[in-house]
Amino acid sequence: MLDNYLPIFTLILIAVCFAIGSVVFSRLVGEKKPSAVKLAPYECGMPLIGTARARFSVKFYIIAMLFIVFDIEVVFMYPWAVLFKRLGIFGFVEMGVFILILLVGYIYVWKKGALEWE
């Protein structure tokens, strides 16, 4: 029984050894010339202004969560689109109900003002 898993364990062992070996080899062979510029944090080519502990508005997080929620729902539409002909009218009605529920949620969020950026 365990003979079936031997190739998997061997592959995992080789991957771990390669990862550890790469890090150790780069530490041993790599050049080390630290400077203030190299050790400074880098953020998209922009110079740092202020502290890294800046506070964001709660609205920022609410909009981010709403984006994720409505974006993930699109993932459920892909299998439906692939099997559209096979599902027939039942699949069409089910997707219509699904989109209607999403639309009601979107209108609710819009009316509550969660999408307003102040």
Contacts of 106 (CB under 8 A, 6+ apart): 70
| Residue 80, both tokens | 């439906």
| Residue 107, both tokens | 């209108």
pLDDT (mean) for 28-52: 77
Whole-prediction pTM: 0.49
Nearest to 117, CA basis, from 55, 57, 54, 69: 57
pLDDT (mean) for 39-54: 71
- Helices and strands per DSSP (H, E), number in the chain: 4, 0
Position 53 pLDDT exceeds 80: no
| Mean predicted lDDT score pLDDT of the chain | 86
Of 27-31, 39-43, 56-60, the one with minimum mean pLDDT is 39-43
> What is the CATH architecture assignment of 56-118?
Up-down Bundle (1.20)
Give residue-wise pLDDT tens across range 13-38: 999 999 999 999 999 998 888 888 77
